Each structure stands twice: as structure tokens, then as C-alpha cells.
Amino acid sequence: MWTAENRPRYNRDKLRYPSDLTDDEWALVEPLIPPGKRGGGKRTVVMRNVVDGLMYILSTGCQWRAIPKDLPPRSTLFDYLDLWSWDGTLERIHHALYVKCREQEEREASPTAAIIDSRSVKSAEKGGRMTRMATMQERRSRARSATFS
């Protein structure tokens, strides 16, 4: 809730971009980032800048080529996003932050109940039908077929 006590906590005016992590947020995320690979050269990129760059892309929805020059190159950001999606790092970060938020609200780490209304069920049914149609091979008319004579 926006109270006089909470406003300074959520103020992002002193950050480079509103999407950048604060020191407290970085303290939660940093231990969840895997260390560099053994062997080879030492990691030269600053991981906090990588996370800030990914947060910038995700929060603004900008194109990869429109990333500001003071963030790591788009190839670096894309490679880390791809790697962390593949190895489960993003899921681990999300889960840890989710659990932390629930604990701060003095709730159990995982919800024990869910509410499903008829509208949710209807949209899920439509999604299921659309998924089946999307996986079916497209039908071509004879007129469009190259083998029709």
C-alpha cells in the first residue's frame, strides 16, 4: 500500500533506469546466479549489469537492437537469457522471490487454495481447442497445390 513509510522504499528516482535492481533486490538475486564455468578465461561481464539489462528489456519491451549503450551488448544479454532459461536459473530466481514475497506477507510458501470461475474454464477450453488446431497440418486447396494440373 502507498503509505508515507512505504514511498521511500519503492522510490526508484536515484537509479539509472526504473528497471534497475536496488541494492536490496540485488542482494536477493545475486546468490541465485550460477558462478562462471571452470576453466577457460575469467568472466569479464558484471552480472548485476546483465540482470539490469534483462530487466530493462523485459520492463520496456524494447527491441534487442535498441538496448542503451551503457548496458552490456545485446549478444551478451541474449546469451545469458538463453542460458538461464535453459538451465533453470530464471525459474529458480522466480521461485525464490515468490517464496520470499509470500513469507513477507506472513503466508505459507505455497498457496493452499485457488479460485476458478466459469470464465477461466471457458477460456482454457478455447485455448485447448486452439492448441490442437495449431498443431494440425495446414490444408491446402487443390488450386494452390503445385501438383494440381
99-111 per-position pLDDT tens digit:
888 887 777 766 6
Task: Report if residue 125 sits inside a domain.
Answer: no
Query: Which among 19, 86, 14, 75 has a CA at the least distance from the CA of 48?
Result: 19
Residue 64 structural domain:
7-104
Task: Report if residue 139 sits inside a domain.
Answer: no
> H helices within the chain, ranges in order?
7-10, 23-29, 47-60, 74-87, 89-104, 118-135
pLDDT of 7 over the 50 cut: yes
**For 94-113, b where at least 16 C-beta lie within 10 A, e where not — what string?**
eeeeeeeeeeeeeeeeeeee
Task: Report if residue 146 sits inside a domain.
Answer: no
Over the chain, what is the mean pLDDT?
Answer: 80
pTM of the full structure: 0.67
pLDDT of 144 over the 80 cut: no
What is the per-residue pLDDT across 68-80, written as a single tens digit (0 to 9) for each? Answer: 999 999 999 999 9
Task: Report if residue 75 sits inside a domain.
Answer: yes
Task: Report if residue 36 sits inside a domain.
Answer: yes
Task: Report if residue 115 sits inside a domain.
Answer: no
What average pLDDT does the segment 85-95 reach?
A: 92
CA gap 148, 41 in Å, rounded: 59
Report the number of distinct structural domains present in the chain.
1
Task: Report if residue 59 sits inside a domain.
Answer: yes
Task: Report if residue 129 sits inside a domain.
Answer: no
